[in-house]
Amino acid sequence: MKKMLGVFLVVIFLGSCKKEVSPIEITAGDYHNAMDRLTNIMVHDIFSPPVASRIYAYSNIAAYEVLVKGNNDLRSFSHTYKDFEPIPEPDSTVTINYQLAALIAHIEMGKQLIFSENEILTYRDSLYSSWEKLNKEEFEVSKSYGIQVATHVANWKNKDNYNETRTLPKFSIYSDEAHRWQPTPPLYMDGIEPHWAKIRTFSLDSASQFQPGSPPEFSLDKSSKFRQELMEVYSIRHSLDSLGDDSEELEMARFWDCNPYVSTQRGHLMFATKKITPGGHWLGITKIASKKKNLDFDNTVYAYTATSLAIADAFISCWDEKYKRELIRPETLINSFVDENWTPVLQTPPFPEYPSGHSVVSGAAATVLTQLFGEDFSYEDDTEVPYGLPVRSFTSFHQAANEAALSRLYGGIHYRSAIEDGLTQGLSLGAFVVKDLNLQPLNL
């Protein structure tokens, strides 16, 4: 009897010494870190702006749709996705940490879309190890659901025509038409993503739903509007030279450059400077706004997802028009007909001129962010600090969009019509996305 009582007391003692398991806490900061890690890998891998926007969109969609299952205040955006089947229902017999599952879905989705898989695996495995130590059971069931949703979204992603566009012919540059785009210095690269308009849209009905109008009729006659816009680009460059290297206009141009691959030549040596894309910059602004507003995890993902959807559709819309117009860049015409030694402030990107991609994307992103955070949302934009550029201050998202658009004129890579028409196109597209997604202000 005494022996049995002793065993009983030992069992009670061991049970009382058992370590209590705490829930795994996932914060908005964890999601910002995941987005930063994805961006850094994309910069390393040198994804073009359109392709980068696709990566952001699918990664955020996977995370957001997970959260919808655990938060009755969130509404799925799946009604707007083309050919999208609802995500799998969670197992009701287990307790899922939806924030954890969402973050895992984001990471797993991103892993499938980048090249440097080892970089994201190292990051993921470090997180997995720490979460498993905190609460193995919660981690395993949440991971299982996160991966299940990521797989579901990946299957849908694989049907967006991206893989098909990898096999289509390059953009043909052989033409006698004077207005037609030609490769530009220093690498004279082929036009990138000439078939991007074939990518399935997210909110838009089609790639051509929002068109910017038409650029001035091509003419090198001195009295033509096109020639006047060409000479404006040429003259502004010379004006900037007289203002000095620290002028506001030059700082603006450099701040919004967002060219993922700038080739620099020094003597016989040529090297690349890597930067974020325009979409990456605007999602950096989304991070700044979310942190200033102190959004929780769910609303942070909401803001990222809505903005990335607008950016992705903006690139599809813009690229549709670019390769329909095939308009030649200012640098090519100025070197051929005005001044062979003229160079733009920024390196001309390798794709047709009209409309300005920065203008379309900035207009769309600013419209979504204004709906979420308000008209007069001032902030300090430090997105470009890691790339050696200073902080710039803005009183609203639309002020930033206007500056981003105008910066392309100071950079010497766009005519005024491409800038103004592109901005109008982006604003209209953004307003459509706001309505289509039924975006609600974040009144927190």
Low-confidence ranges of the chain (pLDDT < 50): 1-2, 4-18
Per-residue pLDDT tens over the stretch 103-135: 999 999 999 999 999 999 999 999 999 999 999
Q: Which domains are delineated in the chain?
A: 22-163 (no CATH), 173-437 (1.10.606.20)
What is the structure's pLDDT at 112? Answer: 96
What is the structure's pLDDT at 11? Answer: 43
Per-residue pLDDT tens over the stretch 46-103: 999 999 999 999 999 999 999 999 999 999 999 999 999 999 999 999 999 999 999 9
pTM attached to this predicted model? 0.94
What is the structure's pLDDT at 9? Answer: 43
Per the CB < 8 A criterion, the answer to whether 51 and 193 are in contact is yes
d(CA 214, CA 97): 51
Which residue's structure tokens are 């990335």? 308
Calculate the alpha carbon distances from 206 to 153, 203, 354 in Å.
Answer: 21, 9, 19
What is the structure's pLDDT at 385? Answer: 97
Token couple for 125:
């495995």
What is the structure's pLDDT at 268? Answer: 59
What is the structure's pLDDT at 218? Answer: 97
* AA identity, residue 59: S
